[in-house]
Each structure stands twice: as C-alpha cells, then as structure tokens.
Amino acid sequence: MNNLEKENFLILGAGNMGICFVKALIQNRIKANRIKIIEKNPSLELMALKRKKKIEVFKDTKKVSTNINPSIVLLAVKPNQLSQALSSEFLKITKNSLIISIIAGKSLKELKKVTKNNNCVRAMTNTPASVGMGTSLVFYDRNTRQKNKRLSKNFLSLIGQVNETKSEKQMDIFTAIFGGGPAYIYLFIDVLTQISKKAKFKNSKNMVIQTFLGSLLLLLSEKEDPVNLKKKVTSKGGTTESALSILENNKGLNNLMQKALIKAEQRAKELNKI
C-alpha cells in the first residue's frame, strides 16, 4: 500500500530516469488519468506506454492543460534544461504541488527559488530504479511539512530503497558513490569477463554475472558481514589469498576507490556551480 492512489502526478522529463517513475506508477496501479507527462522528445518506450495506457503526454511545458492540478511533480530533466522548462504556464499549474527534484546539483534553496514554490524536496537516485531496485537519498529542510515528507518517501519508494540525510552536502558524495555505483560494478563485471574470455571460457559473461548474483544472494541470506564471507572463501595459503594479497596490498583497491570517488565528488561540486 503506497497511499498514492489519490494523488495526481506530473512528470517533467521522461528520459532515462523519469520513465522509471512512470512505469513504477503504472505497476503500482495508479490510474493512467492521474499521470501526466511533459516530454519534448518522447522515446519509443514512452510512445508505446502512451498508446497502451492512454497517458497524456505534452510536448512542452507551455502546452500543458491548465486544469491538471498535480499534487506531486517530479523534476527529471537534465540540470541545464531546467530553467528553460520552467515556463510561466508550468509555474502556474505547479504552485500548489509538492515538487520532488532528482536533478543532480540543484540545491533545495535554488529549487525553491526557480520554481517559486516552497514545497520542494531534493532527492538523488540511481539507474537500478528502472527495475525497482534504486537506492535513493532524500533531503528536506526544516520547513518541510510531515505530509510532504511522507508523500515524497512513498513516491521515491516506488523505485526502490529510500534513505534520508540531514545534510545536503551528503548529496555530492552520494552521487559519487551510489549514483555512479552501478557503473563501477559493471566495470568490475566487464574486467572479470575479459579475463575469463582470455582464459577461453565460452560462457564468460554469464558466469561472471552468476558469480555476482550468487555472492549477493548469499550475502543477503547469511545476514553476515561481507568481510566474514570473504574470509570463508579465503583459505590459508590458497589461491584467493594470493589474489587478495595483490588487490589489498597497501590498501591498493581501497585507495584506488577512494581516489576515484574523491574525484567524482569534486566533479559533482563543480557541476553544482555551473
């Protein structure tokens, strides 16, 4: 039960991320006439959804019907596309809405200013949202009403797990670790696949994916710390210990990851200023 059945939704930007929310709303039995989308460049997937579910899609924020009265608005355009999207028509129809932004680098203060709406919340998520397994972080300021906290958490949990932060500064490091997280994991999968292919295994990619999936399921089922599970694989004087002695030598992998994430966090800070 998500308590969202009586809300009306407006999604601004149904690209990679916005469409995850559209699909999640439909899967959670929100009626199609409660979902409106503004998307200037609809993908084939969005067009198919529009046809099949009869969801209204507007091409431009200036062309939205004035009577749609959304209670929840998702901002999911690219950071540099926001100011152009905030037409006077859009500001008018969203003046009483709860506005949830997943736009990287737009501070809550700035969001309130540009949307001329104090009922804004700022969130960040990642691409596993498309399979309902996103990891999200949400930030409220002290003026956020309880009702809006509840609504935004319910909305974000449609696409996965929701965590709250009391410090907006954490958004940048969240973006570095968890926003980019899927890419680091895919990199690791790709590296292992390449090495496995070199060793002439025919089913390399599937074997690597199965190893990841199996390890994660084991981690969840055993409810054990990953460090303990790592120990269980590592017998004294064995092969895994030899490999780990390279990866962990002088905290090698740890330091490399730290370095990479510091750079990503710095980049997030730079992008905030653009």
Ligand X SMILES: NC(=O)c1ccc[n+]([C@@H]2O[C@H](COP(=O)([O-])OP(=O)(O)OC[C@H]3O[C@@H](n4cnc5c(N)ncnc54)[C@H](OP(=O)(O)O)[C@@H]3O)[C@@H](O)[C@H]2O)c1
Assess contact for 8 and 34: CB atoms under 8 A. Answer: yes
Residues 172-201 interacting with ligand X (rule: CB under 6 A): 179
Q: Which is nearer to ligand X, 30 or 38 (CB)?
A: 38
- With CB under 6 A as the contact rule, the residue among 94, 115, 125, 152 that binds ligand X is 125
15 binds ligand X (CB under 6 A): yes
> Token digits for 232?
């269980």
Q: Which is nearer to ligand X, 78 or 116 (CB)?
A: 78
239 binds ligand X (CB under 6 A): no
Pairing label, strands 120-124, 134-139: antiparallel
Nearest distance from residue 207's CB to ligand X, in Å? 27
Assess contact for 193 and 205: CB atoms under 8 A. Answer: yes
Size of the site for ligand X (CB under 6 A): 26
Three-state DSSP class for 122? strand
- With CB under 6 A as the contact rule, the residue among 54, 78, 95, 251 that binds ligand X is 78
Nearest distance from residue 259's CB to ligand X, in Å? 22
Q: Which stretch binds ligand X (CB under 6 A): 49-57, 97-105, 139-147, 239-247?
A: 97-105
Q: Which is nearer to ligand X, 124 or 162 (CB)?
A: 124
Nearest distance from residue 106's CB to ligand X, in Å? 8
Assess contact for 166 and 142: CB atoms under 8 A. Answer: no
Report the C-alpha gap between 126 and 116 in whole angstroms.
27
17 binds ligand X (CB under 6 A): yes
102 binds ligand X (CB under 6 A): yes
10 binds ligand X (CB under 6 A): no
> Token digits for 188?
């690791």
Nearest distance from residue 134's CB to ligand X, in Å? 8
Report the C-alpha gap between 230 and 121 in whole angstroms.
39
Residue nearest to ligand X (CB): 15
Three-state DSSP class for 78? coil
18 binds ligand X (CB under 6 A): yes
79 binds ligand X (CB under 6 A): yes
**Helical H runs in 223-251?**
226-233, 239-247
Q: Which is nearer to ligand X, 187 or 243 (CB)?
A: 187
* Phi, psi dihedrals of residue 103, rounded to the nearest 5°: -80, 125
Nearest distance from residue 63's CB to ligand X, in Å? 9
DSSP 179: I
Q: What is the DSSP string of 2-32?
A: -S-TT--EEEE--STTHHHHHHHHHHTT--G
**Helical H runs in 94-225?**
108-115, 146-156, 170-174, 181-198, 204-222
70 binds ligand X (CB under 6 A): no
* Positions that interact with ligand X (CB under 6 A): 13, 15-18, 38-41, 60-61, 76-79, 81, 84-85, 102-104, 124-127, 179
